[in-house]
């Protein structure tokens, strides 16, 4: 009977040691990784939530980069429109000069050559202003264009996660109404004033639309940035290790392990003494 009790004691002691060793291993794993969840067995639900948060965080960061690309695109468009606006102002200035009765038609024809150059430059700028191969101010980005484009500014696939960039109407000479402007006569110069006034107003409207889109994208970028921060904080709360608490657990488990080993050694010593006594009695 004594031998049976001793065997049972040894089994319990070994189980206690194995248990404390396992806990020590878990503590070391957490302390070395800095995470309190290293495998599904640690916390299956927490791991699933953390993995989804990780995907959302990466998506939010990419959405922010998308928005920044959109801001860059609007700046390119605004640059083209700014030059066209300057050309319209110069065209109106020449029209005022040509409308003056002190000039003759030959002198007005000379001024009209610059008007022709202005119109050609407007159409050239309209044709070459693009971002990553996407035309910006030739009507491709107009509200009624068949080429509807948008910025993916959110992490989901709803309409609220996209921002349309189709806010710029055609800024070519035909669309602005200056393609047939001719200031080689006084009457033509006087008529050109109204044409350039309308063109300036249209270009200004386009620039206002671009400015409104830029402001919207700036707000969207700040919003998705805040979202990424909140998601990161939520993931950190689930995954990040409390080093002070886990260090205490490690020390406790280490003490328990040492105590279990000591108890087992003492128990085995007692067992040996009992067996020896029984053998002496038998002898």
Quick one: pLDDT band at residue 278, thresholds 50, 70, 90? low
- pLDDT at residue 283 tops 60: no
- pLDDT at residue 35 tops 90: no
Q: Token pair for residue 12?
A: 């319990």
Is residue 183 within 8 A of residue 192, CB to CB? The reply is yes
Is residue 162 within 8 A of residue 217, CB to CB? The reply is no
The enclosing H or E element of 152 equals: strand 150-152
Q: How many angstroms separate the CA atoms of 279 and 283, rounded?
A: 6
Residue-level pLDDT at 1? 42
- To the nearest 10 degrees (0 to 180), the angle between helices 105-128 and 186-239 is 20
Q: What is the mean pLDDT of the chain?
A: 85
What are the domain boundaries of the chain?
A: 2-34+241-282, 69-239
Q: Which CATH number fits domain 69-239: 3.40.50.300, 3.30.70.20, 3.40.50.620, 1.20.1330.10?
A: 1.20.1330.10
Is residue 186 within 8 A of residue 108, CB to CB? The reply is yes
Whether the model clears a pTM of 0.85, i.e. scores above it, the answer is no
Is residue 71 within 8 A of residue 124, CB to CB? The reply is no
- In this structure, the chain runs to a length of 283
**What is the percentage of the chain residues whose pLDDT exceeds 90?**
65
Mean pLDDT of 25-42: 66
Instruction: Give 151's DSSP letter.
Output: E
| β-bridge pairing 162-164 and 130-131 | unpaired
Residue-level pLDDT at 273? 60
CB 221: neighbour CB atoms within 10 A? 19
First to last CA, the chain: 18
162 bridge partner residues: 152
pLDDT digits (tens, 9 = 90+) for 117-138: 999 999 999 999 999 999 999 9
Mean pLDDT of 202-220: 97
- pLDDT at residue 227 tops 80: yes
pLDDT digits (tens, 9 = 90+) for 58-102: 999 999 999 999 999 999 999 999 999 999 999 999 999 999 999
Mean pLDDT of 186-190: 96
């Amino acid at each position: 009977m004594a031998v049976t009790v001793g065997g049972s004691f040894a089994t319990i002691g070994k189980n206690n040691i194995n248990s404390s060793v396992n806990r020590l291993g878990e503590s070391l794993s957490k302390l070395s990784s800095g995470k309190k969840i290293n495998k599904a067995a640690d916390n299956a639900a927490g791991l699933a939530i953390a993995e989804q948060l990780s995907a959302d965080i990466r998506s939010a960061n990419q959405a922010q980069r998308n928005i920044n690309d959109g801001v860059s695109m609007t700046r390119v468009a605004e640059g083209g429109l700014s030059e066209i606006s300057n050309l319209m102002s110069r065209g109106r200035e020449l029209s005022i000069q040509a409308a003056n009765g002190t000039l003759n038609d030959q002198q007005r024809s000379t001024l009209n050559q610059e008007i022709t150059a202005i119109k050609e430059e407007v159409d050239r700028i309209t044709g070459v202003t693009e971002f990553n191969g996407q035309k910006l101010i030739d009507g491709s980005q107009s509200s009624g264009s068949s080429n509807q484009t948008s910025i993916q500014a959110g992490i989901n696939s709803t309409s609220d996660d996209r921002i349309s960039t189709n806010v710029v109407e055609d800024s070519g000479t035909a669309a602005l109404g200056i393609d047939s402007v001719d200031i080689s006569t006084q009457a033509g110069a006087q008529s050109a004033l109204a044409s350039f006034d309308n063109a300036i107003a249209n270009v200004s409207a386009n620039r206002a639309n671009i400015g409104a889109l830029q402001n919207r994208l700036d707000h969207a970028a700040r919003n998705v940035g805040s979202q990424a921060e909140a998601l990161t904080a939520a993931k950190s709360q689930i995954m990040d290790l409390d080093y002070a608490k886990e260090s205490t657990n490690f020390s406790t488990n280490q003490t328990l392990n040492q105590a279990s080993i000591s108890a087992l050694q003492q128990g085995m010593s007692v067992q040996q003494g009992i067996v020896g006594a029984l053998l002496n009695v038998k002898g």
